[in-house]
């Protein structure tokens, strides 16, 4: 079912009827969905006519909730409660997780275990949240796939009487959209993975002036200390770190803020017991590393149709009698932990081939088995490795030998005349059968897998992917013009790669995943002003394809105004964003309010002359760094060149003009970096980039690049730092830098916008149509929000601010 109220009602109805529900994710590949259905063998599949029609051929009975036949059947049903009902030990739901054999394994959870989780969360989390906020009904966001066991947690809050907000796929998968939803709907409860939480924070989830969720849950993977420290330091936010395999009914253990951010307090979920044991099932002392075992009412029934695997993972609990659970079981998690002196557990990682990436538990063996099943793959290996941009899945394949290179008759018989598969072909093979989070970022072809002296796979000897192969740099490729060049540059910034990839390079091949897809979509929306979502990135995976989509969605009007160089003679137009900043600068005078500081730490000997030349290279490459904004002839904004146009203008200084070259200023000993950041630019006479070097010692330096907002934004700092590093490296080697050519300068973009929007004075101009919409939408709103103040407002805003901590009790 789609993510609508029908999905929630259907789940609860199946539970009430005493049947077992198996949620399906409509975004999973058809082969994965078919494997789940074949393993579960359900009585029927519930959906809509559209979603049922999109499923692969499965041969099972179906119930389409929106069909006339279903409506007639429901009308004929007698009213009143259902007879009987499920017993506590009856199975309630089935969730399929990654399996090491190459097929997903189904975890069967009982009504008793689900009821235990519901009662425990009610006591430990829901009731305290109500008390902290002073509100009897909290707003709860459902932001997880129903095929993921964490989807049950927000449903439990609804069962306890709170308001459930069921976000659609576009909203919950897009950090910007989810952040906006939390703020607009004043969401109190949010449950996300740590990596997704990082993306939400980057979108301003906990920024001042926004509504903050009162109960913020992170789980599914290890929480970085820096993230936990930031969450615990956020006002009015109570962070909780939940942990639990699917086999322990969603959650088994949780951490809350402790005496310090570095030492959170941990405790088991009610109805759970945790043991830290050695390989002989003996408790290990505090501070020692052991494997985590979980026991108690939280345990699942086992694996559907897999008694051997159930017996292997759910073992007898030798300590059960001490807790009134003689003959009970405990689940072997495979997680390595350490118990602190205060009994809080510290998570250390996995002890087997399972890994967690972006909150998804993944059996590397399942991916490896799928890859090895390709008819032209002789051997395969899959590992998880931190490549510098987060942990990623890397796959390696040894092709079946072809007839041409097989040295023996047996090999020739095995290989035939078949050509070896390409990495792209193997990734497509995996993507057709596995969810997106299980598809490796790269597939590398090897002559043979490296082996240790004991003939085991040597994981450490598996090579890192070739960066050139990842990006497609140097492959030539097609060039579809400036749109493609811009999209390639955005790809490089978002993915953190040194050079823009080829137009045909795949997003996933470059190491992309769903969080980066959301970031890429947001950047494309912001830059081109066209609709762009995560699904678009996964459907049009290359820079060339996305550039074509941008051109299509921009429409004929935008396509008719290409990004082309405008003559650099005389003053030039500003973009609408620059006009706003120019106006504020003229109204308020020079101010540090719109400064963007980029602070770079430099270790080791510094070649100051090379740095000075590199700064000149930077200004020569980016015209906006050597642009001034002269005043107009009158307050209404008459052009500085005496022309009839009354809009503000910008003037680009020639690259060889001494005034255009950034000066490398050397800070005085003891100078304050904060004070340097508060420098006030005079945009009329000086370029909007200022550099100051602070030298603590010959081998320790801090370089401040201070950029005025009229010349860039937060996204500008990454390419700015990258280009400076490129130029400095070249200058230290005694040569000029070799930059990739830019598709255009910002002034070309401003001229293009002006041509597209037209003048607001023209009734038929796009600018006038947009202004008319906002004049109507904002009509009647006050110029400023009137709040009670202890003194009159100053006649001119100072932008001064401060922090005033205070507390409100529940009755305030």
CATH code for the domain in which residue 737 is found: 3.30.559.10
pTM: 0.56
Please, which pLDDT band fits residue 330 given cuts at 50, 70 and 90?
very high
Instruction: Give a yes or no: residue 264 inside a domain.
Output: yes
What is the reported pLDDT for 498? 73
| Pair 395, 407: CB distance under 8 Å | no
Looking at the structure of the chain, the number of domains it has is 5
DSSP E strand stretches across 391-463: 391-399, 442-445
Cα angle value 91/95/101 (rounded, 5°): 115
Instruction: Identify which has the larger pLDDT, 64 or 741.
Output: 64
Query: Which two tokens mark 505?
Result: 């390079």
Report CA-CA distances (Å) from 17 to 2, 92, 93. Answer: 21, 10, 12
CB contact burial 637-655 (16+ within 10 A = b; e otherwise): bbbbeeeeeebbbbbbbee
What local confidence, expressed as pLDDT, does residue 352 receive? Answer: 66
Confidence bin at 676 (pLDDT 50/70/90): very high
Dihedral through CA 107, CA 111, CA 114, CA 116, nearest 10?
Answer: -130
pLDDT value of residue 646: 53
Q: What is the mean pLDDT of residues 702-712?
A: 94
Q: Identify any residues that bridge with 283 across adjacent strands, giving them in sequence order.
A: 277
Q: Any residues with CB less than 8 A from the CB of 507 and at least 6 apart, and which?
A: 491, 516, 517, 520, 537, 538, 541, 542
Best CA proximity match to 388, nearest among 494, 463, 497, 507: 497
- Is 798 among the domain residues? no
The token pair at 292 is 């985590």
Residue range 614-637: average pLDDT?
80
User: Lowest-pLDDT range, 157-166, 400-409, 586-595?
Assistant: 400-409
**70 inside domain:** yes
pLDDT band at residue 400, thresholds of 50, 70 and 90? confident
Residue 736 lies in a domain: yes
Q: Which pLDDT value is given to residue 742?
A: 81
Q: 385, 391 in Cβ contact below 8 A?
A: yes
247 and 183, same structural domain?
A: yes
Of how many residues is the chain composed?
Answer: 812
Share of the chain above pLDDT 70, in %: 88
CATH number of the domain where residue 145 is located: 3.40.50.12780
| Residue 595 contacts residue 678 (beta carbons within 8 Å) | yes
- 176 and 308 part of one domain: yes
Taking the CA atoms of 553, 558, 564 and 570 in sequence, report the sign of the dihedral they define: negative
Residue 765 has pLDDT above 80, yes or no: no
Please, what is the average pLDDT of the chain?
84
Q: Going by C-beta distance under 8 Å and a sequence separation of 6 or more, which residues neighbour residue 202? A: 175, 519
Q: Report pLDDT for 768.
A: 76
Identify whether residues 47 and 74 lie together within a single domain. Answer: yes
Q: Domain limits at 442? A: 354-402+422-465
Q: Which of 717, 734, 755 is the last residue of a domain?
A: 755
Q: What is the mean pLDDT of residues 104-118?
A: 95
Residue 567 in any domain: the answer is no
pLDDT digits (tens, 9 = 90+) for 215-239: 999 998 778 787 898 899 888 899 9
Task: Judge if 538 and 588 occupy the same domain.
Answer: no
Mean pLDDT of 544-569: 73
Q: Among 555, 582, 613, identify where a domain stops.
A: 555
* Domain end among 525, 555, 585: 555
Predicted pLDDT at 737: 93
What integer pLDDT is reported at residue 810 of this predicted model? 65
Q: Are residues 184 and 270 in the same domain?
A: yes
In this structure, the answer to whether residues 203 and 173 fall within a common structural domain is yes
Averaged pLDDT, 346-365: 74
pLDDT digits (tens, 9 = 90+) for 766-780: 777 677 767 877 888
Is 155 contained in some domain?
yes
Specify whether 497 is located in the same domain as 460: no
Look at residues 172, 170, 165, 167 and name the one whose alpha carbon lies nearest to residue 196: 172
Burial classification of residue 14, based on how many CB atoms lie within 10 Å of its CB (0-12 exposed, 13-18 middle, 19 or more buried): middle
Q: Are residues 613 and 720 in the same domain?
A: yes
The answer on pLDDT for 366 being more than 50 is yes
**Least confident interval from 5-19, 102-116, 533-547, 757-771:** 757-771
How far is 424 from 418, CA to CA, in rounded Å? 17
> How are beta strands 62-64 and 45-47 bridged, if at all?
parallel
Same domain flag for 35 and 139: no
* Residue 692 domain flag: yes
pLDDT at 483: 77
The CATH number that applies at residue 439 is 3.30.300.30
User: What are the angstrom distances between the C-alpha of 731 and each of 607, 727, 736, 739?
Assistant: 9, 6, 6, 13
Least confident of 8-12, 148-152, 782-786: 782-786
pLDDT of 811 reads: 64
- 423-466 residue pLDDT tens: 888 988 888 888 878 888 888 999 888 876 555 577 888 888 76
Strand ordering across the sheet containing 105-110: 91-97, 105-110, 302-303
The most confident of 217-226, 242-251, 582-591, by mean pLDDT: 242-251
Which of 604, 597, 614, 479 is closest to 548 using CA atoms? 479
Rounded CA separation 606/698 (Å) = 8
Is there a single domain that holds both residue 169 and residue 252?
Answer: yes
SS3 611: helix
Residue 122 DSSP one-character state? I
pLDDT of 512-541, one tens digit each?
A: 888 888 889 988 887 776 788 888 898 888
Query: What CATH number is associated with residue 539?
Result: 1.10.1200.10
Q: Is residue 285 included in any domain, yes or no? A: yes
Inter-residue contact 662 to 681 (CB < 8 Å): no
Phi, psi of 708 (to 5 degrees): -80, 145
* pLDDT, position 764: 66
User: Do 624 and 741 reside in the same domain of the chain?
Assistant: yes
For residue 741, what pLDDT is reported?
Answer: 81
**Which pLDDT value is given to residue 408?**
42
Note every long-range contact of 551-555, with CB atoms under 8 Å and residues 24 or more positions apart, other chains counting: 551/483, 554/528, 554/529, 554/530
Q: What is the pLDDT of residues 149-201, one digit of tens each?
A: 999 999 999 999 999 999 988 888 888 899 999 999 999 999 998 878 888 98
List the single range of 60-74, 118-132, 391-405 with lowest mean pLDDT.
Answer: 391-405
Burial 363-394 (b: 16+ CB within 10 A, else e): bbbbbbbbbbebebbbbbbbbbbebeebbbbb
CA distance 138 to 191: 14
Q: Provide the b/e sequence for 46-85 (b: ≥16 CB within 10 Å).
A: bbbeebbeebeebeeebbbbeeeebeeeeeeeeeeeeeee
pLDDT in tens, 16-74: 999 999 999 988 888 889 999 999 999 999 999 999 988 888 889 999 999 999 999 98
Closest alpha carbon to 746 in 594, 626, 660? 626
What counts of helices (H) and strands (E) characterise the chain?
26, 29
Q: Please determine, for residue 760, whether its predicted confidence score (pLDDT) is greater than 80.
A: no
**Nearest residue to 92 (alpha-carbon basis) of 169, 173, 174, 21:** 21
Neighbours of 12 (CB within 10 A): 14
State whether 728 and 668 are in the same domain: yes
């Amino acid at each position: 079912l789609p993510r609508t109220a029908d999905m929630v009602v259907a789940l609860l109805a199946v539970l009430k009827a005493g049947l077992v529900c198996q949620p399906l994710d409509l975004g999973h590949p058809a082969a994965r969905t078919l494997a789940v259905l074949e393993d579960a063998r359900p009585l029927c599949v519930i959906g809509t006519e559209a979603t049922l029609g999109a499923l692969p051929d499965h041969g099972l009975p179906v119930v389409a909730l929106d069909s006339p036949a279903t409506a007639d059947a429901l009308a004929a049903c007698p009213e009143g409660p259902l007879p009987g009902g499920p017993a506590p030990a009856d199975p309630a739901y089935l969730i399929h997780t990654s399996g090491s054999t190459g097929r997903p394994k189904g975890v069967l959870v009982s009504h008793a275990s689900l009821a235990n989780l519901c009662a425990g969360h009610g006591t430990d989390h829901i009731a305290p949240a109500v008390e902290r906020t002073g509100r009897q009904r909290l707003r709860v966001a459902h932001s997880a796939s129903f095929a993921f066991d964490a989807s049950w947690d927000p449903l439990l809050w609804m069962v306890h009487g709170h308001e459930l907000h069921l976000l659609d796929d576009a909203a919950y998968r897009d950090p910007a959209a989810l952040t906006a939803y939390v703020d607009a709907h004043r969401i109190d409860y949010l449950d996300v993975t740590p990596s997704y939480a990082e993306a939400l924070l980057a979108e301003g989830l906990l920024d001042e002036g926004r509504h903050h969720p009162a109960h913020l849950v992170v789980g599914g993977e290890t929480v970085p200390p820096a993230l936990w420290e930031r969450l615990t330091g956020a006002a009015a936010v109570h962070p909780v770190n939940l942990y639990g395999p699917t086999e322990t009914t969603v959650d088994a253990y949780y951490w809350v803020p402790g005496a310090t951010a570095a030492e959170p307090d941990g405790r088991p979920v009610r109805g759970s017991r945790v043991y830290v044991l050695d390989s002989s099932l003996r408790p290990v002392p505090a501070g020692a590393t052991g494997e985590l075992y979980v026991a108690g009412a939280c345990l699942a029934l086992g694996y559907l149709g897999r008694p051997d695997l159930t017996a292997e993972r759910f073992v007898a609990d030798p300590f059960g009698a001490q807790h009134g659970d003689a003959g009970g079981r405990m689940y072997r998690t495979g997680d390595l932990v350490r118990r602190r002196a205060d009994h809080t557990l510290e998570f250390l990682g996995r002890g087997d081939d399972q890994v967690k990436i972006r909150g998804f538990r993944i059996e590397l063996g399942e991916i490896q088995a799928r890859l090895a099943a390709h008819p032209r793959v002789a051997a395969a290996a899959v590992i998880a490795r931190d490549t510098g941009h987060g942990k990623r899945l890397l796959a390696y394949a040894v092709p079946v030998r072809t007839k041409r290179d097989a040295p023996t008759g047996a090999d020739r018989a095995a290989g035939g005349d078949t050509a070896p598969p390409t990495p792209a072909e193997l990734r497509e093979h995996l993507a057709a059968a596995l969810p997106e989070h299980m598809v490796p970022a790269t597939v590398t072809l090897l002559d043979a897998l490296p082996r240790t002296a004991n003939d085991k796979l040597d994981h450490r000897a598996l090579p890192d992917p070739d960066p050139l192969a990842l990006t497609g740099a140097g492959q030539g490729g097609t060039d579809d013009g400036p749109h493609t060049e811009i999209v390639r540059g955005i790809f490089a910034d978002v993915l953190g790669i040194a050079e823009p990839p080829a137009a045909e390079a795949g997003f996933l091949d470059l190491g992309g995943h769903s969080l980066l897809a959301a970031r890429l979509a947001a950047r494309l929306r912001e830059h081109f002003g066209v609709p762009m979502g995560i699904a678009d990135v996964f459907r049009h995976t290359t820079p060339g394809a996305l550039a074509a989509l941008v051109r299509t969605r921009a429409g004929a009007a935008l396509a008719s105004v290409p990004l082309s160089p405008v003559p650099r003679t005389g003053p030039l137009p500003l973009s609408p964003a620059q006009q706003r900043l120019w106006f504020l600068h003229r109204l308020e005078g020079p101010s540090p309010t719109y400064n963007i500081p980029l602070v770079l730490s430099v270790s080791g000997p510094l070649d100051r002359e090379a740095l000075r030349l590199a700064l000149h290279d930077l200004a020569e490459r980016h015209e906006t760094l050597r642009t001034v904004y002269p005043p107009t002839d009158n307050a209404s904004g008459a052009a500085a060149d005496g022309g009839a146009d009354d809009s503000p203008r910008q003037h680009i200084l020639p690259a060889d003009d001494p005034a255009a070259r950034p000066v490398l200023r050397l800070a005085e000993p003891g100078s304050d970096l904060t004070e340097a950041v508060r420098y006030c630019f005079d945009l009329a006479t000086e370029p909007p980039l200022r550099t100051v070097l602070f030298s603590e010692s010959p081998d320790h330096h801090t370089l401040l690049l201070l950029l005025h907002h009229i010349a860039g934004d937060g996204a500008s700092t990454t390419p700015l730092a990258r280009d400076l590093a490129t130029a400095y490296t070249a200058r230290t080697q005694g040569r000029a830098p070799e930059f990739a050519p830019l598709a255009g300068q910002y002034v070309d973009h401003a001229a293009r916008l002006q041509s597209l929007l037209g003048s607001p004075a023209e009734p038929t101009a796009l600018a006038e149509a947009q202004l008319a919409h906002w004049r109507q939408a904002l009509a009647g709103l006050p110029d400023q929000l009137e709040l009670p103040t202890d003194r009159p407002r100053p006649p001119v805003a100072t932008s001064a601010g401060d922090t005033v901590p205070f507390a409100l009790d529940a009755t305030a």
